[in-house]
Amino acid sequence: MIPVFKPAVGEEEWLALREPIMQGYLGLGPKTKEFEDKFAAYVSVPHAVGCNSGTSALDLAFAVLDLDGGEVITTSLTYVATNHSIIRTGGVPVFADIEGDTGNIRVDEIERCITPRTKAICVVHYAGHPVDMDPIMELAAAHNLPVVQDSAHACGSRYKDRMIGSFGPINTFSFDPVKNLATGTGGMVTVLDPEIDARMRRLRWLGHARPPGTPAAPGEAEYFHETVEIGYRHHMNDLSAAIGIVQLGKLDRHNQRRRDIAAMYDAAFTEIDWLETPVTKDYAYTSQHKYVVRVGTEYRDDFMAHLKSKDVGCHVHFVPTHLHAAYKPYRTELLPVTEVFWKQIVSLPMFPTLTEDEIAQVIEAVRSYAPPASAGSGRSASSVLA
């Protein structure tokens, strides 16, 4: 079975682990600082805070906003971690609808959802395709609202020649095994404000003002810390950071390979009238984290079963958050585009080490499928969402 995702790691990552192991830095140490500095330089931002997961990065992002029961306008078409973090840090998610072609949150929907209780806006760059950020940032500025960008899919993406992660107050990234930059476990927050940076560094280490490894002041007990506020155990470790440094050096090459594979898929599927390929807007340069096609709702599951019978893995990314049982108290708005879109989407295999034979196998599996005779065109079914 060809998997949907597979980390692209090799001997360099293996060898990179030697240094922190030999030096005895298995937790938060100098490799984390090195990775933070290199990642900050990559995205052209002054501060990057290493975390132990993308979810932890989201926790820090929302924690520094002091939500205190306020509303966060967000998307439902995301992994539940995005919206779990809003609730976990004292916020109330308010779901806005999405674009029918990219799957990204819509600015007019954000505007519709703004109330006196709104404390922040959260966007997700779905599948690596950047959200159209300028109108959202303008709207946010008009209402004095911070914008959190969940960039878990968008490491290496650009919006109008600006790196995702380089603008806006807070951006979060995930480095788990299926991501474009994979460290096994890890995440990062990029920020512009030095005070937010300092606060996040305290919060990721239980709220301690004195970083780990820093000698105690004269007369101060070694394990006494002047805790400014209660924090988390969300820091990155040097083993993940060592792998991350190597992966960062490969990121642009790997992302280009992803785009090349997407182009091969696009060319092979262009004449299929029952399937929609992903779009790329003029303002977007995508990391191509996922390759998500759309087919008719009535035969989506049958199509997926066909792919698996051909040893081609596929997934649905995602079941919208507002449909999960834990979110029943927050389901206050109808989301017509989201509720159709997710029933049409199928993620095909997308990772940089896909071989030519595997790509051909995926293409053959898709092209050999025949929708039921009674089914409508996938293009006409989904085009109403665009």
Which residues are catalytic, by number? 179
User: Of 96, 177, 85, which is closest to residue 139 (Cα–Cα)?
Assistant: 96
Q: Which runs of consecutive H residues, i.e. helices, occur in 17-153?
A: 18-23, 30-43, 54-63, 81-88, 107-113, 133-142
How far apart are the C-alpha atoms of 215 and 203, rounded to whole Å? 19
Question: In sequence order, which residues have a C-beta less than 8 Å from that of residue 187 and are 6 or more positions away?
Answer: 50, 51, 52, 53, 54, 55, 56, 57, 172, 173, 174, 175, 176, 236
How far apart are the C-alpha atoms of 51 and 307, rounded to whole Å? 36
For 211-275, give the DSSP string: PTTPPPPTTS-TT---BSS---B-B--HHHHHHHHHHHHHHHHHHHHHHHHHHHHHHHHTT-TTE
8 Å CB contact between 186 and 241: yes
Q: Is 166 helix (H, G, I), strand (E, B) or coil?
A: coil
Cis bond before residue 224 (omega within 30° of 0): no
Tokens for 225? 């810390």
Run of H or E residues at 379: helix 378-383
* Strand order through the sheet with 162-163: 162-163, 158-159, 284-285
β-pairing, 187-191 with 118-124?
unpaired
Q: Max alpha carbon distance in the chain (Å)? A: 81
Residue 138, Cα to own-chain centre: how many angstroms?
A: 23
To the nearest 10 degrees (0 to 180), the angle between helices 356-367 and 300-309 is: 140
How far apart are the C-alpha atoms of 219 and 212, rounded to whole Å? 18
How far apart are the C-alpha atoms of 49 and 141, rounded to whole Å? 25
For 278-294, give the DSSP string: PP--TTEE-----EEEE
